[in-house]
Structures are given as C-alpha cells and as structure tokens.
Amino acid sequence: MQIVLADLVSADGFVSKDTVAGGYGSRLRPFSRVTRIMSAIKQRLHALPSVQLGYIAAICAAAGHDVVYSEGEAAEGDLAIVLTSLVDYRRECAWAQEQRARGVRVGFVGLAASKLPELFEASGDFVIIGEPEHAIQRLAAGDFLAGRVPSPPIQDLTELPFPRWDLLGGNRRGWSLPFTGRPAGGSFPLLASRGCPEFCTYCPHRILASYRDRPAKNIVDELEYLCAVKHRPYVVFRDPLFSEDRDRCLALCDEIRSRGLLLRFECETRLDRLDPELLQTLRSAGLAAISFGVETSSAETLKRSGRRPIPPSHQQQIMAECRKLGIVTAAFYVLGFLQDDWSAVAATIDYSIALGSTAAQFKLLTPYPGTPMWKQLSARVYETDWQQFDGFTPTFTHPSLSADELRFLLGAAYTRFYVRPSYLANFLRLRGRGLRAAERFDSSVRARHERRERAMMAKAVVC
C-alpha cells in the first residue's frame, strides 16, 4: 500500500503545528513591523518536520508500505494521513476532500482531531482519537479503519521505532547565523517524553495522555541514529519539561560524551529545573539554546492558573549562567490572564526586558478546548471560528481589557522588547563599555515608545 503523509503548509501567516500548543498549533499573522520580522525569522528557523508523522512513517515503512510525503501537493496513493491543527483545519479538510475525490482514503491524526473530531469526520474516512501510533500499527498490519478510531497511548515509548526523517524530506541542509542557536532548516525534533507532569490550567500539553518518559540510553540511541543521518545534527527536544528528571539529564549527557556524538541541541523546560552545574553539563554535551515559560510577572496570577511560581532571583541566576556559557535563551509570556489589567501587563513587559533573555515570545491567553481553563472561561468565549484560537487573537470577553487593548498591548510587548539599543547589544553579546553605551540610549527610545502609545491609545504601556 502507498501511504501519503500530509503536513500542509499554510499561505496565511506562519503556522506551527505538531507539538505547538500541545498540537492545536499557532498562527502568527504579522500585525506590526516587529512581528513582520519575527514571522520571517520563524519561517526560517521554526519550520520543523512533524515528529508525529516521523513516527507514523517509521511504523508504515517497517510494515512494508511505501511512504510519500506532501506539504500540500496532490499525491498519488491508496491512503492519506493528514496532520491536523485547530488554526488551519479548513485547509486540511479541503485537501482531504480533494484526495478523496481522487479515490484516496483519508484519515486524520493530531490533538485537534482527537478533541474536536466533528471538525474533520465529514472530510475523511476515519479520525484517530488519541496518540496515533497504536491505531497506525493496526492500520499497517492490515486493519480497516473507519469512523472515530480510539488509539490508546503507548506506555513504553522504547517500543516505538525512531522517526524516519529520510521519508519526510529530513535531509535538508541547514545554515546558522551567529548567536541564533537554531539553524535555518535541517533541524530534527525529538520527543524524550510525552505529556507533562505540571498542572497549568491553560496548557494543552497534558490533555491527551499522561506523562511518560524515555530512558537516557534509548534517547541517545536515537541521537546516534541522527548523527548517522546528518553530520553534526541540530536536535530540538519538543518536551515541555525536558529537565524534569535531573539524574536522567546527567545520564543523557554522560552517554552523549561517552559515545563521542557531535551534535547541538535545544530544549524547553522550567527554570527551577535548572541549576549552574546542570547547565554546564548540558552545555558540554551540546546544549545550544533553552526556551522556558515565565508567563507573567505576578506570582499570584500564576498560582490562580495552576502554575508554580519561580523566584525572580533564581530566574536571574539561570539567565546569568546562560549568558556566561553562551546559551541562547527564549522566554515565553502570556498576556491577558483574568487578573491582568493595563498596569499588570505593562509590569510583565518590563520584567521581560529586565530578565534579558535572547528572545521573547508574547501571546494572548487562549482557552483551548479540553483544558481546565476552557471550562473556566467557556461562558466568556465569543469567538466561534476555531481558526482564530491561534495564540495571537482575543477570543473571550476579558473583565478589564477590551479586545483592542489586548491587541495593542501584544504589539507593544514586541516593540518594547525588541526595539531598544540594549537588546541589540545583548544579542551581539556586547559587554562592558559597548553595553553601557547602548543602555544609555534606552531611555530616549523608551520615551519615543511612550509618545507613540499615548498618541494611539491615550496612555502609555507603563505600570
């Protein structure tokens, strides 16, 4: 059987799927000069192949099936598997309908298909509910799938074959800019665990299946396989909490070094799951970049959202250690929690600047289906188009901030963080006199931002 695996590229903004927002995906449509630049950078650095389809390709190929990859082109085959998202589901359904008209059976996989199967089932022959591998193993063995197909999670992740990137166009060449960490093209995603052990009420990472992790040896076996596929690969660990188990991280680094593997990697984690010794060890094994959630500067807001606050002193210590080691850092922030007002959002923006990560991503609070936050806010949700649940669009009535104010504050966050002389100096890793000279110009740039903000909204983004 010839099986088409489809991860459709969107022409409307920059769309990330797969493990972004747990699999619901995000869409950045540029809404300012800064976000136009951010969108262009993301197009080059953040367009990763789908790890879900990588596993599916491996399972199907091992069973003797031919695998064909599509990013939206019509493809000949007996069956097509479409990776779904919330933010681009209409295009995914339209492509599926076109394939069915060509005589191809179509199935859907992904978090969006699992939690909102009604969006997809009229456009395909089956919808897999849950992590897809169990159902795909049945399909590859000859089972006929139809309708809603339950797929229980694989409990022992070492039973799965490694993703087949050679079948998904994964041998692309990559090039790097100084200080950016991730190369443009040529990166490989890797799941060292699934689910998340935390309890943040707004996060979709834990709503599909429980947390499971892989032993260090099994992870490094996959890294060794990637090193055979590509010279000195760049690996993006897609776990939401990579360093949950400190001992496993140390064992992972020991195994990488003992095998003499040459690679660079990045991970996402919580800053309270890092310390200077662990950072130094990770760096020696190839760590190039770390991303982490700060979310808001208010500890009380975090507690009300089920997220454990991290002392600012520890966050600052880890940032200082990363700068010393040359590790690129990316901090995530969420604007528009129920407790937020204009001043609280401004305080979070100020904190993002003071923390001084290499990059920052700001999004609006989005109540995703299946999360506890959805249950809390569903009565306030006014948006009826699921594609607008993209992380950058207001979707519910906020008690203190209008939709226009939220959009303005989101744009101001990107401008305030990136449009300042000290940001460029820090990005270029200037120290001493060069950094101090840049910081002296920050106040005049900040005053200009305030004048512009007052002209547009009659008030500045200040606490």
CB atoms within 10 A of CB 200: 21
246 and 181, same structural domain? yes
- Residue 285 in domain: yes
438: number of CA atoms within 13 Å, CB side? Answer: 16
- Residue 375 in domain: no
Q: Which residues of 76-105 are buried (b: 16+ CB within 10 A; e: fewer)?
A: ebebbbbbbbbbbbebbbebbeebeeeebb
- Residue 377 in domain: no
Domain total of the chain: 3
C-alpha 17/C-alpha 53 separation (Å) is: 11
Q: Which pLDDT score is estimated for 313?
A: 98
- Domain end residue (candidates: 99, 133, 157): 157
What are the helix (H) ranges across 102-215?
A: 111-115, 133-140
203 and 124, same structural domain? no
- Domain end residue (candidates: 157, 184, 199): 157
Q: Which pLDDT score is estimated for 180?
A: 60
Strands 212-213 and 193-194: antiparallel
Q: Which pLDDT score is estimated for 171?
A: 53
Give the residue with greater pLDDT, 174 vs 271: 271
282-286 long-range contacts (CB < 8 A, ≥24 apart) are 282/249, 282/253, 283/325, 283/326, 283/327, 284/253, 284/257, 285/252, 285/253, 285/256, 285/257, 286/256, 286/261, 286/262
CB atoms within 10 A of CB 44: 16
210 and 255, same structural domain? yes
Structure token digits, residue 151: 């797929």
- Domain end residue (candidates: 157, 184, 202): 157
C-alpha 49/C-alpha 66 separation (Å) is: 19
- Residue 399 in domain: no
Q: Which pLDDT score is estimated for 41?
A: 87
Asked if 286 and 316 count as a contact pair (C-beta separation under 8 A), the reply is no
Structure token digits, residue 110: 């992904």
Q: Which pLDDT score is estimated for 433?
A: 76
Residue 178 scores a pLDDT above 70: no
194 and 138, same structural domain? no
- Residue 410 in domain: no
243 and 95, same structural domain? no
Confidence of residue 278 (pLDDT cuts 50, 70, 90): very high
80 and 213, same structural domain? no
219 and 90, same structural domain? no
Confidence of residue 23 (pLDDT cuts 50, 70, 90): very high
112 and 14, same structural domain? yes
**Nearest Cα to Cα of residue 171 among 159, 193, 187, 189:** 187
Global pTM exceeds 0.85: yes
Q: Which tens digits make up the pLDDT trace of 417-447?
A: 999 988 988 887 777 777 777 778 889 999 9
144 and 36, same structural domain? yes
Confidence of residue 296 (pLDDT cuts 50, 70, 90): very high
431 and 339, same structural domain? no
- Residue 391 in domain: no
Domain that holds residue 114: 2-157
C-alpha 332/C-alpha 295 separation (Å) is: 6
**Nearest Cα to Cα of residue 192 among 259, 135, 245:** 245
Q: Which pLDDT score is estimated for 59?
A: 98
Q: Which pLDDT score is estimated for 75?
A: 87
What percentage of residues in the chain have a pLDDT greater than 70?
97
Residue 65 scores a pLDDT above 70: yes
**Nearest Cα to Cα of residue 25 among 290, 451, 390, 410:** 390
CATH number at residue 183: 3.20.20.70
Confidence of residue 328 (pLDDT cuts 50, 70, 90): very high
Average pLDDT over residues 261-270: 97
Asked if 173 and 151 count as a contact pair (C-beta separation under 8 A), the reply is no
Average pLDDT over residues 296-306: 97
Average pLDDT over residues 193-205: 96
What percentage of residues in the chain have a pLDDT greater than 90?
87
Residue 171 CA to chain centroid, in angstroms? 22
Confidence of residue 105 (pLDDT cuts 50, 70, 90): very high
Residue 314 scores a pLDDT above 90: yes
Confidence of residue 265 (pLDDT cuts 50, 70, 90): very high
- Residue 24 in domain: yes
Structure token digits, residue 183: 């190369």
Average pLDDT over residues 7-29: 94
Average pLDDT over residues 341-345: 98
- Residue 396 in domain: no
48 and 150, same structural domain? yes
216 and 135, same structural domain? no
CATH number at residue 17: 3.40.50
* Residue with the two structure tokens 């901090």: 331
Residue 172 scores a pLDDT above 90: no
